[in-house]
Structure 1
Amino acid sequence: MKSFIFLLVSVTFSFEIDDGKVKGSIIYNRTGNSTGWNFLQISLESIENDEDVFAAAGRFEGEESREEIYNAYRNYVYGLQGGRHFLPKSLQRYVHNQYNWLKEQSQTQNTSYWRMVKYLLIQLENMYEGYNYHYGKTEKALSFDQFYFLSNMGDLQDLWPSVGEVQTQGIGNCNSFYKPGIMAHTTFNVYQTMLRIYKSYNFKLKDKDVVNQHLSFTARPGDLESKDDFFVLWDTQMVVTETSFNNYNKENYEYFHYDSVPCWIRVNIASRLAKNPKEWMDIFGLHRSGTHNNQWVVTDYNKVYMGEEAFFIYKVHDLTNTLLNSQGYVASYNVPLDQEIFDSLKYPNTTSYNDDVRAKQFRMYQGNLRTVREIGRLLRYNKVTDDFDICDGAICPRCDLVNENEYPFGGIDGKVISQDMIKVKKVHLISSPSYQEHQMFNWKAFPNIPHYGMTDKWSFPWYELDETNFTIKELYQDY
């Protein structure tokens, strides 16, 4: 095994801002082309005003990761927005109106919820200022609207189709799997999004309503939430995951209203303020926007809750004594459990929560799996049979290998954390399209598809990240 101690490529420093109200350190490790991940740790303490913590965190992240942010923006624009650097006017009005409404509410309402909104907007705006400080007068300059694409990309996934610009993909988008004592997740996406960063925010705040001072999540540069759908809340020892829903009902887009809180903010608020999975679901459901509709699975290893949202509907299920007891695990794979939500999205009648192709595979393969390594391997599984395709229907798809319609889309990572691991602040990670049963992915097979800032060959192993000293240890290959 190889252990990596971040020294040579780290930036670690203590600082005081002009008024001396914040102290702390930042570690940023540009190891993406050698491990598949960049790593960012921001540890800050509030001396007088919590706003200063979020401002400093945003500014220094924007400065230190500016090159990766620029590459992530280009990969997003050319990989997911079809080369469009600007939103249609109707969507831009919606985003502007929503942002202005958020600013107004956060400045006039002094509740724990709206204070968190204010903190997050401060962090976002200062991250842009940090980026703009270096790139504002260069060819890498971005407007704030363009910069906001990155944090808001999940919500844009529902906004774009509302104006007929993007058609909903039929393939699923992620897996989440819980078996008593172990939580795991795999992200599906176009491979242009493989510019990854693991973020650890440890903020010692004075706000007594903040329960989770230390949270970590897998993300992309410039993103203030885990669009990769995996959060660890260290203080309450909760894990938060999601898989996204497809929408086949155009009428649902009539629900959008700008006086609402987008998903990327709501997930951060719930993760900071909730003491347990039920509270997380309750807080997350406030001021819903109807954008980025998902199936959330949250556990503290005692209780397992599922929250499902579909535009105007929000349902919460305590699965601890129902689904978990009946089948011994809880899985999420982009298909609604609740029948009303299933019907409202007009999912095809050829699938259901119990009969989806991935549901069948989880039932078939999970029986004897008990260890972190075994569960990790399951979430990366891609074996072609007469019943299971390499692309649409695989637990960890490799659509780049489908000869008649190949395109770089599939499962791009794996994250696993157990109840024992969370107690000692460790998590297991891998970044690569699955290569268990197939050749590794190589960008040289797609020379005309933009993939800025990425290495060509993707066969990185699993790593264990230790949050206590912020080091990683190589574990094993993807087999």
Structure 2
Amino acid sequence: MHNNKTFACCCATLLVVLLSILMISSRDALVFGKFIINNKKVMPTITFEELKKLLPKEDLSKLKAEALINTVSIYCSSSASSTSKYYLKETSTSFTYTFGNYDFDKAIAVGILYDGYSPVLNNQTDAVDGWMRLWVSTFTNVNRESSGVDACYKSEINRQYAAGMVEGLLTQPQIYNFFQNQYSNWKFAKNNVDLKAKFGDNNEWVKSHERFRSSQQQGRNSSNYYFPSALVAYMQDNYNWLNQQVASNPTSNYWKQVGGTLTQFNGLVQGYTIRAEQEKNEVYGSLNWLDLYFLQAAGDMETLETAIKDPSTTTRSRNNNNNNGIVLPDEETMTDCSALIKITPDCLNLFAGHTTWRGYNIINKMYKVYSLLLNNVASKTVSFASSPSFLSSKDDFYVTENGLVTMETTNDVFNETLFQYITPKSVLCWVRSIVANRLATTSKEWVYYFGLYNSGTYNNQWMALDYKNFKPGVCHLPKDSFWILEQIPGSVMTRDVTDVLNKQSFWSSFNIPYFEHIYNISGYQQAKQKFGNDYDYNLCSRALIFKREQAKIGADRSKPVDYKDFGRVLQFNEWKTDPYSLGDPSKAVSSRYDLRDLRFAAFGGIDTKVTDYVKNLKHTSMWGICGPTHQDESQTPPFTWTDKFKATHLGQPQTYNFDWVDLEDVDSFYSSLSQKSKRRN
């Protein structure tokens, strides 16, 4: 039996071995997004079995089945037989894959997964930082375009399908755990509201549901998990309508990107299925296409699930159901997310950051970087904070190689008459965010693309900040640098609010609409009458805390402002002493509902992500901290899963006591790991 010191050395040895295989040289290199990649084959093929041969025999018993770092390469051939197991009918292409291989020379898609939840060698404290990291790239050696390569590599459809396969293959165990956690939160009622009675015969969703019930469709509509028929009908018709629009608009770049996104999703399903069949690890019931499509639309589901519920059977107030369609909750809602943008007092930096709020059982954080070789797009590379399976962020927080940062906080819709405008003939939020990130070159363009074909689901205030317009030392951003969009079912409003950011030097967002029209029609006036300032844009706790705390950023001109100074505000929760919190740990920038004495819940702020001028334009990246805030441990101790909280939380650490981490590009990430392993030795 090895002692702890020997064991730590073994961990370091394994890391060094991995790094010696994976390390990338920057000499004579090509740019892959913002990553540096050799023009040569970057590493030899190595399998997990071969890796084990490099370790002392006495340490093999400690080696887990999943390595800290895993890689996969996807290959394609247009000459393969259609009887191949991994065959894409649309392009008559066959795909093969190899784990443990990161082949930039020959692969159509490659990927790296670093699992920050899972230790390498049963050494939890040494390996875990709370973040999983996934990098996916397609057709990496661009010089091959002119060298007569197989036609299958030149197809964007094949590239996007292969990108999805990479993610499904690498992250299948993580996706399965995350689905179980998310599904346990949906709490689908067996008896839902009669859609026809609620919306009328001419409503598109009603028509979709009637067709579904009369035909009793199977195939993709079947599942091992229960979903209400109204939701299944919506999802199936939405998917079919999207594909019809893609086919009917072959010259539209917008619909081309929608189609590519769906292709990437189908590739993810294929990769997931392959790995699941190999691992045989779906112990709670296997997942199919429909399950994964529902999971992909988890944000949109927040609206769809509410729309089909009978208000008289939910926590929404029973005695005001006929108040012009405004259905208020019995108590304040658990809203989602806080966001902040700040021009420093010396005007040398511009920060943007976001704190996601959600149930702790779906923290499962995964930082992703996609670098996809696509034609006619503004950004091939985008990095974002996300979760297993999501092709979008869902947090949402994105950094694109085009210098845009986009993020959102969610607004409530208390006016249930607006749900009649929800239709499957629309583009769901998760798809629109991906398409807008790819196509937009400016913040104004971003809100335009995102606003197209509004689904009225996952109704948020979106912020689009254009870092290209920021000049260090210049205190005012030019016009069109910062746009916002607010969405409700049936309506979208946008505006250039650069002047507001310039005047205040900051912009904060906290789940209350900025636009008066959106505020009023959504029912916030009635919510304010019932609950007071919690629903007042200027006087709610977070508005007041943001205004006070942001003023402290860079107030001491003798010290440079770093990301932790800014991030402190987004992690802020001093509920015991802060008069604006009113003695409630949920009334803070990063809430902690779990610390309440009454009406407690495993819910609140579950991370913070931050980027700035240099990080954005040079690295397309961010810093992050995972888990409920524990910034002031005298008021917010680290969260630990105990029997007090019954929520399903597969794939999570027991305690969230992590620090800030640099979520960097591949080259810097490996360099950082190398330095850590040297220090351990």
Structure 2 length-normalised TM = 0.66
Contact 2:404–2:464 (CA under 8 A) maintained in structure 1: yes
- SS where residue 359 of structure 1 aligns? helix
**Distance (whole Å) between structure 2 residues aligned to residue 125 and residue 421 of structure 1:** 32
The answer for the alignment partner of 1:117 in structure 2 is 258
The secondary structure found in structure 2 opposite 1:222 is coil
Aligned CA RMSD, in angstroms, stands at: 2.2
Q: 1:82 to 1:381 in 2, by over 3 A?
A: farther
Q: Secondary structure at the match of 1:105?
A: helix
- Taking a change above 3 Å as real, the CA distance of residues 12 and 66 of structure 1, as seen in their structure-2 partners, is closer
1:242-282 per-position Cα deviation (integer Å, ceiling 9, x unaligned): 00011111111111111110000001000000001000011
- Equivalences for residues 91-170 of structure 1 within 5 A: 91-110=231-250, 111-135=252-276, 139=283, 140-164=285-309, 170=333
* Greater CA drift, 237-246 or 25-34: 25-34
Find the counterpart in structure 1 of residue 337 from structure 2: 174
CA distance in 2, matches of 1:447, 1:295: 31
**1:18 equivalent in structure 2:** 77
1:382–1:390 CA contact under 8 A, matched in 2: no
User: Within 5 A, what are the aligned runs for 1:380-419?
Assistant: 380-384=571-575, 385-388=578-581, 389-419=583-613
Larger radius of gyration: 2
SS of residue paired to 2:76: coil
1:365 CA drift (Å): 1.2
Distance in structure 1 (CA, Å) of the matches to 2:179 and 2:73: 29
Q: Could you say what secondary structure the match of 2:139 adopts? A: strand
Q: Which amino acid aligns with 2:337?
A: C
The more displaced of 408-417 and 365-374 is: 365-374
Q: CA deviation at 1:404?
A: 1.5
TM-score for both structures, normalised by structure 1: 0.93
Quick check: 1:268 aligned with 2:434? yes
Letter of the aligned partner of 1:369 in structure 2? I
Asked if 1:38 corresponds to 2:154, the answer is: no
- TM-superposed CA distance for 1:392, in Å, is 3.2
Confirm or deny that 1:87 pairs with 2:227.
yes
How many percent identity over aligned positions?
29
Pair 1:461 & 2:461 matched: no
Give the match for residue 546 of structure 2: 362
Equivalent residue, structure 2, for 1:213: 380
3-state secondary structure, aligned to 2:299: helix
CA displacement, residues 205-238 of structure 1 (integer Å, 9 cap, x when unaligned): 2x2x21100001111111111111101102x111
Instruction: State the distance in 2 between where 1:449 and 1:320 align.
Output: 42
Task: Give the secondary-structure state (helix, strand or coil) at the position aligned to 1:444.
Answer: coil
User: Which residue of the other structure, out of 339, 350, 364, is the alignment partner of 1:195?
Assistant: 364
Could you say which structure has the greater relative contact order, defined with CA pairs below 8 angstroms and 6 or more residues apart? 1
| Cα 1:448/1:14, change in 2 over 3 Å | closer
In the superposition, relative to structure 1, how do residues 292 and 99 fare at CA in structure 2: closer, same or farther (>3 Å)? same
* Aligned residues of 2:544 and 2:580 also touching (Cα < 8 A): no
Deviates more, 1:16-25 or 1:112-121: 16-25
Matches of 1:335 and 1:86 in 2, distance apart? Answer: 33
Cα pair 1:391 1:410 within 8 Å, conserved: no
Could you tell me which runs of 5 or more consecutive residues in structure 2 were left unpaired when the two chains were aligned: 1-11, 20-66, 79-94, 96-105, 119-127, 141-152, 191-224, 317-328, 344-349, 470-480, 555-560, 674-681
- Asked if residue 228 in structure 1 is aligned to residue 395 in structure 2, the reply is yes
Deviations 1:261-307 (A, max 9, x none): 00000010000000010000111111111111100111013311111
- Tell me which of 497, 503, 507 is aligned to 1:326: 503
C-alpha contact (below 8 Å) 2:133/2:366 kept by paired residues: yes
Aligned to 1:340: 517
CA contact (8 A) 1:171 1:393 kept: no
Q: Which secondary structure state, in structure 2, belongs to the residue aligned with residue 201 of structure 1? A: strand
Equivalent in the alignment of 2:629? 434
Partner residue, 1:477: none
Paired residue secondary structure (1:204): coil
Alpha-carbon distance in 1 for matches of 2:411, 2:647: 27
- Correspondence for 1:73 among 170, 179, 182: 179
CA contact (8 A) 2:545 2:580 kept: no
Q: Distance in 2 between matches of 1:391 and 1:276?
A: 38
What is the rounded CA distance, in whole Å, between the counterparts of 2:137 and 2:272 in structure 1?
Answer: 20
Q: Return the offset for 1:172.
A: 2.5
Greater shift after overlay, 357-366 or 419-428? 419-428
Counterpart AA for 1:27: I
Aligned partners of 1:95, 1:26: CA distance in 2, in Å? 29
Given residue 133 of structure 2, which amino acid in structure 1 is its aligned partner? F
Mapped contact 1:22–1:52 kept (Cα < 8 A): no
Residue aligned with 1:43, SS: strand
- Indicate the larger mover: 77-86 or 148-157: 77-86
TM-superposed deviation, 1:447: 5.5
- Matched residues in 1 for 2:511 and 2:645: separation? 31
Number of positions where the alignment pairs a residue of Structure 1 with one of Structure 2: 468
Name the CA distance, whole Å, in 1 between partners of 2:403 and 2:512: 27
1:408-435 residue CA offsets vs partner (Å, 9 max, x unmatched): 0010000000011112214111101001
Is there any run of 5+ residues in structure 1 with no aligned partner, and where?
475-479
Shift of 1:445: 4.6
CA deviations 1:121-152 (Å, max 9, x no partner) are 11111111111123257544112211112210
The structure carrying a bigger helix percent of its residues is 2
Matches within 5 A, 1:228-247: 228-234=395-401, 236-247=402-413
Are 1:191 and 1:410, in contact at CA under 8 Å, matched by a contact in 2?
yes
Q: Contact 1:297–1:306 (CA<8 Å) still a contact in 2?
A: yes
**SS of residue paired to 2:486:** strand
Contact 1:58–1:126 at 8 Å: present in 2 too? Answer: yes
Give a deviation string over 1:355-411, Cα, whole Å, max 9, x none.
222111111111130332111010001001343044332111111110122210010
The answer to which of 388-397 and 123-132 deviates more is 388-397
For residues 173 and 448 of structure 1, what CA distance do their matches in structure 2 show?
A: 21
Q: Whole-Å Cα distance in 2 between the matches of residues 131 and 285 of structure 1? A: 31
- One-letter amino acid of the counterpart of residue 452, structure 1: L
